[in-house]
């Protein structure tokens, strides 16, 4: 038994070498895992950058198409601006809604094309989204500058969105329907709905967007 308790240099050296090899293996494994994690992060970042670049390119192409094509569409200026802004917000989806609900399929068929109730509803909705969206985006920028968060940010965006949609996209662009009077347009678009649009080229039902 005493012989077993004696110090064995060869056994001690073997144990120490084994521990060193294990530490080396652990370090190599950790380095490999770290390298794999870094490569995966970089790959995901490149993929995300590629997707964002593709989206911006498609949005630019869709916006260019709508901005040029809608000039020949016999529609009211407010709706033309509405679809252009909507395409700037939503990219190819806005262009799809423009073709689906407003673009004249053949010369002289615009009145009949937009006579469908669902197309009138789509046009009114796009009009509201475009107008209120400008105010909401302005509210988001102001909130970021002022450091507003939570309910204060939501309240500011709602107030600016409603105010811009009503005072600009409703009253300002549609004042010709009430004889060119902006105050009268404010009061009439706040509570009433009207048929028609500037130039008499379309017939829609308008109301204040909220």
pLDDT of residue 38: 66
- Of residues 172 and 4, the one with the higher pLDDT is 172
Whole-angstrom CA distances from 99 to 45, 95, 113, 122, 182 are 34, 6, 11, 11, 32
Whole-angstrom CA distances from 103 to 16, 117, 132, 155, 204 are 81, 15, 23, 36, 15
Please tell me the pTM assigned to this model.
0.62
pLDDT of residue 132: 86
| Region 124-144 average pLDDT | 87
pLDDT of residue 37: 66
65 has pLDDT over 70: yes
| Region 110-139 average pLDDT | 85
191 has pLDDT over 80: no
> What's the token pair of residue 91?
């990219």
Residue indicated by tokens 């909705």: 125
């Amino acid at each position: 038994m005493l012989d077993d308790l004696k110090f064995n240099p060869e056994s001690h050296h073997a144990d120490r070498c084994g521990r060193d090899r294990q530490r080396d293996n652990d370090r190599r494994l950790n380095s490999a895992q770290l390298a794999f994690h870094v490569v995966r992060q970089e790959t995901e970042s490149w993929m995300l950058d590629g997707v964002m670049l593709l989206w911006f390119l498609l949005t630019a192409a869709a916006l260019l198409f709508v901005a040029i094509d809608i000039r020949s569409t016999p529609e009211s200026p407010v709706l033309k601006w509405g679809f252009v802004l909507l395409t700037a917000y939503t990219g190819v989806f806005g262009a799809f809604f423009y073709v689906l609900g407003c673009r004249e399929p053949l010369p002289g068929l615009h009145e009949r094309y937009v006579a469908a109730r669902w197309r009138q509803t789509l046009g009114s909705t796009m009009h509201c989204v475009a107008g209120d969206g400008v105010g909401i985006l302005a509210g988001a920028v102001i909130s970021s500058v002022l450091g507003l968060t939570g309910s204060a940010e939501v309240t500011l965006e709602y107030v600016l969105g409603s105010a811009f949609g009503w005072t600009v996209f409703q009253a300002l662009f549609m004042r010709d329907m009430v004889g060119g009077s902006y105050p009268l347009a404010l009061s009439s678009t706040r509570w009433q709905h009207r048929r028609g649009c500037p130039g008499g080229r379309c017939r829609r039902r308008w109301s204040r967007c909220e």
